[in-house]
Amino acid sequence: MGRWEPDAAGRLREAAMALYTEQGYDGTTVAQIADRAGVTARTFFRHFADKREVLFAGSEELQHRMVAALAAAPPAAGPMDAIATGLLAGTDLFSGRRDYARRRQAVIAANPELREREFIKMAALATALTDALRDRGVAVGIAALAAETGVAVFRVAFDRWVTAPEDPDLSEITRATITDLAGLTT
Amino acid sequence: MGRWEPDAAGRLREAAMALYTEQGYDGTTVAQIADRAGVTARTFFRHFADKREVLFAGSEELQHRMVAALAAAPPAAGPMDAIATGLLAGTDLFSGRRDYARRRQAVIAANPELREREFIKMAALATALTDALRDRGVAVGIAALAAETGVAVFRVAFDRWVTAPEDPDLSEITRATITDLAGLTT
């Protein structure tokens, strides 16, 4: 990235989201996104593989952070505490980005191909968290249960955050959702 | 269905699964499935919309049973108990069908389009269970959390059942998974 393109990735993300919201995902081209962001298509492709990846590039970073935090949880932490540590480490990524997250969710909800992609990303996250728990010595059946439940908690917390009337902190909401789950299952 | 076609749907399902396993899902045609089952393609289409629906026709019945049982749970049952009632009512459908379920899972795992379809069915199930809980007066955030967690439990229980060395009862495994979850979250 040249120094004449400060935060081109961020500008491309904003431009893409604006166009997806205005004219729909299907009707938007990479050329239009690059144009709106004031960069060339070549610059677009330096940051994203295609117009879909503008929406999903953050998922890998999210998974990476959650897995790293889970792996670094104290050895004495039980599976669900380790999962909670992982989930909470991921919430930082969304700080100050609620408006973007809300628009992203609306674009994805309107498009079957994008919904499917989102499901696959969440399934991959559950698998990665399962593997990270197994690396801590958790039995496979329990690891999968804790990881799948953790992803369900994260998705519900994320929905609560995006739809909340005020602008609360995602990590607070995630903590509250974990507490709600404990209340539900006892 | 004519009387010379006893259980044509069942035979078509078995024929489809055999062909999907032998030669792959993509390489199998409706004509081949009908031929193997000893019926005409016209009979196939009287039972299934296409070759994909052979694998997913049961999902609607599963969702219907779970929602009906959840709705009929005693009014005093909490959200997670109502979800458990729903999940357990669905397990009857799989009685004596573990071998079919195992082959179905292998076929789906090998094909991205089928995996996506399965994700969508599971998401639809979570939404249906959420709505059924809301009809019982459960707050939306709690209803979604209980339903998403319930679907996670069911998927994990189903995996445990399919991969178990012996041939255990899916309802027993589902009960054990619900117990495991309670242990994990407290």
**CATH code: domain of residue A33:** 1.10.10.60
In a domain? residue A133: yes
Asked whether B88 and B69 are in contact (CB, 8 A), the reply is yes
Asked whether B152 and A148 are in contact (CB, 8 A), the reply is yes
CA atoms of B98 and B158, how far apart (whole Å) = 10
A160 touches chain B (CB under 8 A): yes
Residue A18 pLDDT > 90, yes or no? yes
Q: What is the separation, in whole angstroms, between the first and last Cα of chain A? A: 53
Here the ipTM equals 0.86
In a domain? residue B63: yes
pLDDT of residue B2: 47
> Average model confidence (pLDDT) for chain B?
93
pLDDT of residue B5: 59
In a domain? residue B114: yes
Q: Are residues B70 and B90 in the same domain?
A: yes
CA atoms of A175 and A172, how far apart (whole Å) = 5
Closest chain B residue by Cα to residue A178: B185
Asked whether A39 and A5 are in contact (CB, 8 A), the reply is yes
**How many other CB atoms are there within 10 angstroms of residue B115's CB atom?**
16
pLDDT of residue A150: 97
Q: Residue B184 and residue A115: Cβ atoms within 8 Å?
A: no
Q: Are residues B29 and B66 in the same domain?
A: no
Residue A3 pLDDT > 60, yes or no? no
Q: How many helices, marked H, and strands, marked E, lie in chain B? A: 9, 0
Q: Which residues have a Cβ under 8 Å from the Cβ of B177 and sit 6 or more positions away?
A: A141, A145, B153, B156, B157, B160
Closest chain B residue by Cα to residue A119: B119
pLDDT of residue B112: 85
Helix or strand holding residue A114 (H, E) = helix A112-135
How far is residue B42 from each of residues A41, A56, B13, B26, measured CA to CA in Å? 50, 43, 15, 21
Residue B155 pLDDT > 70, yes or no? yes
In a domain? residue A1: no
Q: Are residues A67 and A148 in the same domain?
A: yes
Across the range B9-20, mean pLDDT stands at 95
A77 touches chain B (CB under 8 A): no
Confidence of residue B13 (pLDDT cuts 50, 70, 90): very high
* CB-based burial, B135-166: b 16+ in 10 Å, e otherwise: eeebeebbbbbbbbbbbbbbbbbbbbbbeeee
Number of cross-chain residue pairs from A and B with Cβ atoms under 8 Å apart: 86
Distance of CA A45 to the CA centre of its chain: 21
CA atoms of A126 and A122, how far apart (whole Å) = 6
Least confident window among A148-157, B14-23, B80-89, B159-168 = B159-168
- Only one residue has tokens 């998401």, namely B123
A184 touches chain B (CB under 8 A): yes
Q: Are residues A61 and A41 in the same domain?
A: no
Distance of CA A13 to the CA centre of its chain: 14
Q: Residue A145 and residue B152: Cβ atoms within 8 Å?
A: yes
Q: Are residues B93 and B168 in the same domain?
A: yes
* Residue A50 DSSP label: S
Q: Residue A181 and residue B185: Cβ atoms within 8 Å?
A: yes
- pLDDT digits 0-9 by tens, B44-88: 999 999 999 999 988 999 999 999 999 999 999 999 999 999 999
pLDDT of residue B3: 47
Residue A167 pLDDT > 90, yes or no? no
Across the range B138-154, mean pLDDT stands at 96
CA atoms of A40 and A44, how far apart (whole Å) = 7
Number of domains in chain A: 2
In a domain? residue A36: yes
In a domain? residue B1: no
In a domain? residue B2: no
Instruction: Give the residue from B134, B140, B148 with the most A CB atoms within 10 Å of its CB, the best one to mutate.
Output: B148
pLDDT of residue A113: 86
User: What percentage of chain A has pLDDT greater than the value 90?
Assistant: 83
Residue B4 pLDDT > 90, yes or no? no
Confidence of residue A112 (pLDDT cuts 50, 70, 90): confident
Shortest distance between the Cα of B142 and any Cα of chain A, in A, equals: 7
Q: Which domain holds residue B14?
A: 8-47
Q: Are residues A38 and A59 in the same domain?
A: no
* CB-based burial, A58-70: b 16+ in 10 Å, e otherwise: bbeebbebbbebb
Asked whether B181 and A145 are in contact (CB, 8 A), the reply is yes
Q: Are residues A84 and A113 in the same domain?
A: yes
Across the range A48-67, mean pLDDT stands at 94
B133 touches chain A (CB under 8 A): no
Residue B154 pLDDT > 90, yes or no? yes
One-letter amino acid for residue A53 of the chain:
E
Output the domain CATH number for residue B67. 1.10.357.10
- pLDDT digits 0-9 by tens, A62-96: 999 999 999 999 999 999 999 999 999 999 999 98
- Only one residue has tokens 């990846």, namely A53
Asked whether A82 and A133 are in contact (CB, 8 A), the reply is yes
CA atoms of B170 and B158, how far apart (whole Å) = 7
Shortest distance between the Cα of A58 and any Cα of chain B, in A, equals: 21
| Upper half-sphere CA count for residue A29 (Cβ side, 13 Å) | 5
pLDDT of residue A2: 46
Which residues on chain A are in Cβ contact (under 8 Å) with B123? 115, 119
Listing DSSP states for B119-167 in one string gives HHHHHHHHHHHHHHHHHTT--HHHHHHHHHHHHHHHHHHHHHHHH-SS-
A141 touches chain B (CB under 8 A): yes
Q: To 10 degrees, what angle do helices A140-163 and B140-163 make?
A: 160
In a domain? residue B3: no
Across the range B18-28, mean pLDDT stands at 96
Q: Are residues A127 and A77 in the same domain?
A: yes
Asked whether A93 and A152 are in contact (CB, 8 A), the reply is no
**Both tokens assigned to A101:** 């997250």
Q: Are residues B86 and B133 in the same domain?
A: yes
Residue A14 pLDDT > 50, yes or no? yes
Q: Are residues A159 and A111 in the same domain?
A: yes
Q: Are residues B159 and B85 in the same domain?
A: yes
Q: Are residues B96 and B13 in the same domain?
A: no
